[in-house]
Amino acid sequence: MRKVFAALAGLLVLLVVAQFFFAASGGFSTRPGEEAYRGHHALGYVIFLWPIVMMIVAAIGRMPGRLIGLTAVIPALTAFQVVVAKVAIGMSDSGSGTASEIVFGLHGIGGLLTGVFAGLILRQARALARPTPAPAPAA
């Protein structure tokens, strides 16, 4: 089960990298706002749900509670990202240009934190998935 969790953690890192790709491609797209970020929004839901699946696998595999808790940070950060984006869009629609740009900056920082936590989860998961060496026979 530990190897399965490590594989799921590896996929989580790839999902976060893809999320940055979709954000960047939406930022430079010629399509209108919502349409340009469609892939970014859709993948955000996956990044919210994927760690929940990982936590279930970790619980079944009796993984350390600290790793399960660390995995729970990802959906929390994703929810934070949604709130930040909605606030920034609302501020932008009301004409608060500079303020909405600052709030959108928090969205980027939240994305970076999500990547950092995904990397930490992968690192710990890979360490747990390694086979433990057999003890040396007594002399």
Residue 20: Cβ-neighbour burial (10 angstroms; 0-12, 13-18, 19+):
middle
- Per-residue confidence at 101, pLDDT binned at 50, 70, 90? confident
**Model pLDDT, residue 102:** 84
Calculate the dihedral angle through the C-alpha atoms of 115, 44, 77, 59, rounding to the nearest 10 degrees.
Answer: -90
pTM (2 d.p.)? 0.86
Helices (H), 28-96: 33-36, 38-60, 65-93
Is residue 19 over pLDDT 90?
yes
**Model pLDDT, residue 100:** 76
| Assigned token pair, 53 | 């699946």
| Assigned token pair, 130 | 């390694």
